[in-house]
Amino acid sequence: MRYFAKPLFAGLAVLGLAAIGVGLGQGAAASRPVTLTYAGYMAGLPVFSLSTTVNLPAGTVPGNGGYTITADGQTAGNFRMLYPYAASINASGALKNQAAAPTQFRSVSQIMGKQEAVTLTYGAGGKVGINAQPLTRQAQEAAAQGFANGTMDPASAVVALVAKFAKTHQCQGTYKLFDGVRRYDLKLAQGGFVDLNPMQQSYYDGSATECSAEPQLLQGFSSVAAQSQFYPQSARLWLAPAVAGLPAIPVRIEAQNALGQMVLDLVDVQF
């Protein structure tokens, strides 16, 4: 479990630890960030918790302007005693015509008492600077080979996704992502409408738009974990107008890997 649990939660980052939790705030003009809290379950048992606070340009269809995101996730319940894991991210950038241009992304993770941190800085021409502490093999390879260039971070990708969905009501496209360790493409496809059934603490139940997410793993992945399917091969997320005055936000996501199905469900909203 010690070896394979890391790919499981790294896999959440693959599909976007931020992507799972990113919602939309009232916007910089209103200076009222919103905090969304999600509970993660496997086999009906709580194993993960995630909260994120976001500021975006105001409006149910976000306009042009800056965005900031913070998110914190950790294992929960009895599983935390077996596998203590925590991660946090901070991201910033600007939206223009529903496209996101990140400026900086920082993630810090603690796994079994070991801390890893990485800061990505986005420059002109799509160049991405990488500062990893400690310096990892993946960061060295990414810097040497330049495969982080022309990418965005997972949090910024979801900001772009939700902003675009608010404008077009479509969930589709391919995003080139690098999270500081792993380089992957995330392909999104539109699904239909679903009436979600409430879970243990659901904040929202009702009609939602289903989107599928399929990652193409490119660089920085353990070959053993990838071949064993401990990174999620696909996921589904549901967007819904869960909060009055806000764009549609992710209210639930499901990801499947070799350990089973993980479900993250929106359980609380705070202004």
Per-10-residue mean pLDDT of the chain, 271 residues long, equals 45 44 40 82 90 80 86 89 89 91 94 90 96 90 94 90 88 91 91 92 94 88 70 85 84 82 91 82
Separation between Cα atoms, residue 16 and residue 79, nearest integer Å: 21
**Which pLDDT score, from 0 to 100, does residue 24 have?**
42
**Which pLDDT score, from 0 to 100, does residue 80 have?**
87
pTM: 0.86
**Which pLDDT score, from 0 to 100, does residue 228 have?**
66
Range of the domain at 245: 2-270
**Which pLDDT score, from 0 to 100, does residue 230 have?**
67
Separation between Cα atoms, residue 262 and residue 213, nearest integer Å: 14
Number of domains forming the structure of the chain: 1
